[in-house]
């Protein structure tokens, strides 16, 4: 059974940095592209970016490219999202997903609240 | 960016009814369209990919159709467990964009 478990969220102050993790199991992690998608409290969905199965290529939403970085550690079956200089509009639930033709499997999500 | 316009924003239907949700892309996305179901308090789940391919384990009362810029999700014989928010999403071109969602409730 595919499982994706995100962690690392919480309350963070504007301008701070935060790193989210997603531990994968139930499939060969190193064979799959992976993605991060976020959902605002108002339920708006936004794709953040993708990373190739070997970590050699990343693709980001242009509006987030300068502040967010996706990486992975295939030995640990773990996906990461480094967020820097966070803003109130980054308040959302963050999901990691497998990525083939669509966002196939989703984690349970982790909440990030940006507030002073 | 490709804009995805989803309608209606909300929908109320009775058990056993057939409902249809529409999604309009701002340009041709060549059937690179997925539908997701998000049950209350849960993460989204893939229902349909490539506009009309049913994901594994999805009941056959769900179906997708469309081409070009116009797509739809049809739910036959509505069940109580179908109460959810439904999202369309284009996989044709980055950034990969979502519709605003349709909240389906029981009448």
Pairwise CB contact (< 8 Å): B89 & A106: no
Query: Which pLDDT value is given to residue B66?
Result: 98
CB contact under 8 A, B49 and A101: yes
Break chain A down into helix, strand, coil percent, rounded to 5.
10, 55, 40
Task: Out of A44, A102, A106, name the one closest to residue B34 (CB).
Answer: A102
The verdict on A59 touching B (C-beta cutoff 8 Å) is yes
Note the pLDDT tens digit of each residue in B47-91: 999 999 999 999 999 999 999 999 999 999 999 999 999 999 999
Instruction: Report the SS3 class of residue B90.
Output: strand
Residue of B nearest to A40 (CA): B100
Q: What is the pLDDT of residue A35?
A: 98
Instruction: Give the C-alpha distances (Å, rounded to integers) separating A49 from A107, B28, B102.
Output: 15, 22, 24
The per-residue pLDDT string of chain A (116 residues; one tens digit each, 9 = 90 and over) reads 999 999 999 999 999 999 999 999 999 999 999 999 999 999 999 999 999 999 999 999 999 999 999 999 999 999 999 999 999 999 999 999 999 989 999 999 999 999 99
Cross-chain residue pair A43–B101, CB shorter than 8 Å: yes
pLDDT of residue A101: 86
């Amino acid at each position: 059974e595919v499982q994706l478990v995100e962690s690392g969220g919480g309350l963070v102050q504007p301008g701070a940095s935060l790193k989210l993790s997603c531990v994968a199991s139930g499939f060969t992690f190193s064979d799959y592209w992976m993605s991060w998608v976020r959902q605002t409290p108002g339920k708006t969905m936004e794709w953040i970016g993708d990373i190739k199965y070997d970590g050699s290529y990343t693709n980001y939403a242009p509006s987030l490219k300068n502040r967010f970085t996706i990486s992975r550690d295939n030995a640990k079956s773990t996906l990461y999202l480094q967020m820097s200089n966070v803003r109130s509009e980054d308040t959302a639930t963050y999901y990691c997903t497998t990525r083939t033709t669509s966002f196939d499997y989703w984690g349970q999500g982790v909440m990030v609240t940006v507030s002073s | 960016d490709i804009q995805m316009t989803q309608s209606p924003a909300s929908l109320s239907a009775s058990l056993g009814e057939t409902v249809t949700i529409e999604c309009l892309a701002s340009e041709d996305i060549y059937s690179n369209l997925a539908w997701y179901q998000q049950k209350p308090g849960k993460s989204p789940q893939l229902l349909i990919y490539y506009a009309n391919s049913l994901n594994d384990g999805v009941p056959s009362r769900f179906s997708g159709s469309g081409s070009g810029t116009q797509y739809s999700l049809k739910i036959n014989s509505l069940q109580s467990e179908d109460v959810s928010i439904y999202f369309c999403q284009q996989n044709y071109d980055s950034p990969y964009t979502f519709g605003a969602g349709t909240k389906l409730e029981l009448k």
